[in-house]
Amino acid sequence: MRPLAGPRSADRAYPSLPHEASCPAEPCISSAYRKLDTGRQHRARSTGGMNESHIIPLRPRDRLFAVLAVVLAVLLLPVAFVRHPGRAREWACHWALGVRFPAENLTGLTYGARAAFTAARAEALWRHGQLIGLTSGYRDPLVQQRLFDEEVSRVGSPAAARMLVLPPAESKHVKGTALDVRPYEGARWLEEHGARYGLHRIYDNEWWHFEYRPDAGLQATEGISNALPNPQAASTC
């Protein structure tokens, strides 16, 4: 997660950051990758399913983290009921996940995106014991520009860079409606259940990138796949 710094050791098994390809099987891509991504798209969600599990195995400690987070959330529930009646489960989940993902930052997300993400991951935790953390949400335009520039330097051209990083004017991260999540299992949960909250996976080459697109809900429930292969495709459609 850490928007700008590199992943902590506990998270290195996951290509933590945005618009970068999930590179566990390759010598990881650019630094822009591992930092944040960018994103934009015009279409709805991917219904193609996530097929990267063969390169991102579930680690035993992930299950342990999940169990501990659920236990902590249960312990925090009474306090949450007192402080936030009516939303106690969400808050207890939020506090518990804050221990697991201390560097995550939801600041800058739009109200809708933040509310949707908070509600979705509360369901993931309480219903399925699945943790979902945010690696990158809102990004300052200058940060996004730097990431784009770094990617251009790495791959040699703006067109190639756009396969993974979009410029600020097109990035949904800059607009506060894109969320890069972790771990892989959490992203898989969100791909399966996120449409109910208006959260959709967008690009085939970014399992971690979701966007808050409440208007895409109908298409999602109808099983219509409008996924784009990569961010670059968003500018050509």
Residues 180-199 as x/- pattern, contact with Zn ion by CB under 5 A: x-------------------
Minimum distance, C-beta of residue 9 to Zn ion, in the bound complex (Å) = 22
Using CB under 5 A, count the residues that bind Zn ion.
6
Minimum distance, C-beta of residue 56 to Zn ion, in the bound complex (Å) = 17
Residue 39 binds Zn ion, judged by CB under 5 A: yes
Residue 20 binds Zn ion, judged by CB under 5 A: no
Q: Which is nearer to Zn ion, 104 or 180 (CB)?
A: 180
Minimum distance, C-beta of residue 39 to Zn ion, in the bound complex (Å) = 4
Residue 123 binds Zn ion, judged by CB under 5 A: no
d(CA 228, CA 237): 9
Q: E-strand spans in the chain?
A: 133-136, 178-182, 199-201, 209-212
How many whole angstroms from its chain centre is CA 64? 21
Please say whether the beta carbons of 114 and 106 come within 8 A. Answer: yes
Residue 18 binds Zn ion, judged by CB under 5 A: yes
Minimum distance, C-beta of residue 61 to Zn ion, in the bound complex (Å) = 25
Minimum distance, C-beta of residue 148 to Zn ion, in the bound complex (Å) = 13
Q: Which is nearer to Zn ion, 34 or 209 (CB)?
A: 209
Residues 196-215 as x/- pattern, contact with Zn ion by CB under 5 A: -------------x------
Q: Which stretch binds Zn ion (CB under 5 A): 15-23, 63-71, 146-154, 214-222?
A: 15-23
Please say whether the beta carbons of 13 and 56 come within 8 A. Answer: yes
Residue closest to 206 by CA, chosen among 232, 224, 236, 167: 232
Please say whether the beta carbons of 190 and 201 come within 8 A. Answer: yes
Task: Out of 7, 21, 29, 37, name the contact with Zn ion by CB under 5 A.
Answer: 37
d(CA 119, CA 69): 16
Instruction: Report residue 63 as tokens.
Output: 């299950």
d(CA 211, CA 178): 4
d(CA 154, CA 119): 38
**Residue ranges in contact with Zn ion by CB under 5 A:** 18, 37, 39, 178, 180, 209
